[in-house]
Amino acid sequence: MQIFQILSKLFPNYSKEAEQSNGRLAMIGFFALVHNYAITGWIIPGIF
C-alpha cells in the first residue's frame, strides 16, 4: 500500500495513462484480428 502512495505522488496521472494505453493496445489487437480474418479466413491461422 505504501508503494502505491509513493507512485501516486510521483505519477499523478498514472492510472489514466495506463487505461488509455491498455485500451489502445486492445484496439490494435482487435484490428489485427479482424484483418487477419479478412485476409486468411481463419481467426488464428494454423489453429482455427
pLDDT given at position 20? 93
**Block mean pLDDT (10 aa), the chain, length 48:** 80 85 96 91 75
Other residues' Cβ atoms within 10 Å of the Cβ of residue 37: 14
**DSSP letter string over 1-44?**
-HHHHHHHHH-TTHHHHHHHHHHHHHHHHHHHHHHHHHHHS-SS
Task: Enter the pTM of the model.
Answer: 0.64
pLDDT given at position 10? 86
Residue 40 to residue 47: CA distance in whole angstroms: 12
Residue written as grid cell 485500451: 23
pLDDT given at position 48? 58
